[in-house]
Structure 1
Amino acid sequence: GNTAHAKKSKMEKFLEDELDGIDDDQALRKEVDQLIKAISAEAKLPSQVKLDAADKAAIEAGRELFFEDGFSCVDCHALGDWNSDDYSAPDLTGYGSRKWLLDIMDDPAHERFYGSKNDRMPAFGKDEKLTRKQMEQIAGWLRGE
């Protein structure tokens, strides 16, 4: 997005450092691919069911990489059962799922998402800018349903 967080954010700097040399490091490339598959699987996209089933081992490996022994994403993000009260970045539990999309459209400033750091995304539901049905249609479109 075009938020203040997208312009050389801590996350961008972290990724630049963490992924430096990825083009020459096949092991790192494999781990990043596994992590991406794990986060993508959180969406439970109907179009991805067969791929997720075939990639079950890679998804599980990616979930493990989310934690301290991998990329330590959990230092800032919550995911599933690992959900501490002091994370500083959006909760990735169910990331991209219908519920996750509806919840962030409803109130992106909720502590689960951006909290007080939300600098421009409107609260479409909370502020009654869109109806629930309209938000459901957008979520379906974003998910390719």
Structure 2
Amino acid sequence: MKINLKNGIDKLLFGMKQNDVTALYGKPNRNYKDEDENVIFAYNALKMRLTFYKDEEFKLGYIVASSTALELFGNKIIGKEINAAKKELATKGITKFTQEEFDTFENYFNEDNWIILQTEFEEVVKFEIGAIINAKDEFEWKFKK
């Protein structure tokens, strides 16, 4: 599954509605609301959790994924040692990361692309990507019907 920076993952594009996603991937294994009343879809086989923002007409705005099939710039990302992953990203001009630690996990956040590489024991275990927010503080939706 290809990660498309600033756009989404695989066939998922930021700005899709729930029915657009179910048309592509079928009914999710879990469908619930978080504490902010956002709708969450979880797909077990895809190892993805999708967030549809309530305040944005329930458009897809955030994806958390942990499938070993995830590829960024043609390279597998899950299971990769973090320094090797950062080195590969640097060849594409992605060098600025804010690092946050909690328990045995570390998050490496790149604001320009709104991505997080979550590691445990120096290995990437989860990839998160969110819709880009522009200078006007508005989401840049990629899905056009």
Higher-helix-fraction structure: 1
State the TM-score, normalizing by the size of structure 1.
0.29
Instruction: Using CA pairs under 8 Å that are at least 6 residues apart, name the structure with larger relative contact order, 1 or 2.
Output: 2
State the TM-score, normalizing by the size of structure 2.
0.29
Higher-strand-fraction structure: 2
